[in-house]
Amino acid sequence: MGRKIKHYSSGYQIKRKKQKRLISGALFALVLIVLVFVGYIGAKAVSELTAPSDGDLSGLSDSLSLPDDSAPGSLEESLGSSEPEGESEDTSLPESSLESEEPSSEVESLYSQYGVPTVTYTPVKENLFTLYGDPVAVYSPQQDLPAPADDGAFQAVTMPLETTLSLDSARTFLDGLDQTVYNAVVVPVKDSEGILYYNTGVSLAYTCGAVSSSRIDLEELVSMIESYGFKPAASIYSLEDHTASHARYGTSYLWTDDGVTTWLDAKPVNGGKPWMNPYADATVNYLTSIAAELDQLGFVDLVVYGNQYPNSTLQQKMGLGDTGGVSKVDQLQAVLQSMQNAASGLRVIPAYHGACYTEGVNTQVYTTTPNTFTFTPSAPIIGSDLSILDRVTADPSTVMPVIDSEDLVSSLSERGITSYIVSN
């Protein structure tokens, strides 16, 4: 029996793969050679179509080279060499362009048109001096001269509020005044609740509901007072105001400076009320606006009551806000001065209860004693107790006591005090 020979298919498969690889590689090389040849032929044809003549190449080379500074006219020659033969048009540059040190460029710029700038421009901010030269004199604008504030003796009587609301009642009141005792009449226009009794133009007064429905005809009343030979004066309560003072208006003290809660001088169940904060800008603006308005209405004096701090057991919770380092006493003075500045035709006269004019008594609540009180004149409210004047050493000409009876006038004269306010 003969011997069998085995054939393995894997060996034949390997040989077939090698043959396929050789054939594929040869075809790829052939294709690549054909592509390179075609590309070369195409590029050569394009270059022959677009290539300039020898003369053009030499002219282009010359025009791109920088001119030789040592050879005048070289720029014209180089540009002229680029002209085609047979053309007679003059294409030379003007003489101004020959001065340029910059190379010529196909892109036109300010330098290629006008040459390199010789100086650097620095813009100057225009003002009156640069426009018109130095001034020959310094101009100081003259301020409007304010109406003179009342600086004479103030011998006033206060017209009751209910009387001011009726012109007929006001006329009857004026008819009964002794002109040897009085030279002024005080009209109350803002009470301790903060209610205003006239047609004010101050917007906050309407916002907070401070304008009374019963209002004084101030223009007619001022004219009537003057017709009787008296000086018209007004009185207001400033910081003692329980209507326009509120956190949402930015005018009140804040509970422990929390920024949102209005401070009250007592618990709500005990009838606590808010007060205006002298450190608040809104407070000062409100009071100065009222003072300026009264000045425009023709009043010559303004008695200011209640320019003080609340007398409360809750003062430790009373947030003043940003004080700017100004003391309490100085800030009270600042409020008065602001009103005086806003109403230069008025004489602002602060009125305080007599107890504050004795050394060391209620200085925190009110201000300080008249011996160091810088805002003058001032009006201590003493009622019928003239003995308090024995402890006031301020100049009598700066003191205008608020008394409750005309019968006390002679006693004041004996003390050398000639100014007073009788409050009925």
The per-residue pLDDT for range 204-216, each reduced to its tens digit, is 999 999 999 999 9
pLDDT category, 128, cuts 50, 70, 90? very low
Which pairs with CB-CB distance under 8 Å and at least 24 residues apart come from 257-263? 257/319, 257/320, 257/321, 258/319, 263/314, 263/317, 263/318, 263/319
231 lies in a domain? yes
For range 154-176, the mean pLDDT: 98
192 lies in a domain? yes
pLDDT, tens only, 190-201: 999 999 999 999
Contact, 300 vs 345, CB < 8 A?
A: yes
Which residue segment(s) compose the domain that 198 sits in?
Answer: 155-422
| CA distance linking residue 24 with residue 26, whole number of Å | 5
Number of domains in the chain: 1
248 lies in a domain? yes
340 lies in a domain? yes
Q: Which two tokens stand for residue 271?
A: 């009838």
pLDDT, tens only, 237-290: 999 999 999 999 999 999 999 999 999 999 999 999 999 999 999 999 999 999
Q: Which residue has the higher pLDDT, 222 or 129?
A: 222
149 lies in a domain? no
pLDDT at 298 over 50: yes
| CA distance linking residue 342 with residue 12, whole number of Å | 118
pLDDT at 369 over 60: no
pLDDT at 137 over 50: no
What is the DSSP annotation of 132-201? H-S-SS---PPPPPPPPPP-S--EEEEPPHHHHT-HHHHHHHHHT--TTT-SEEEEEEE-TT--EEE---
Contact, 159 vs 168, CB < 8 A?
A: no
Contact, 196 vs 205, CB < 8 A?
A: yes
256 lies in a domain? yes
95 lies in a domain? no
76 lies in a domain? no
Full-prediction pTM beyond 0.85?
A: no
Q: What's the CATH code of the domain at 341?
A: 3.20.20.80
pLDDT at 330 over 60: yes
Q: What is the mean pLDDT of the chain?
A: 77
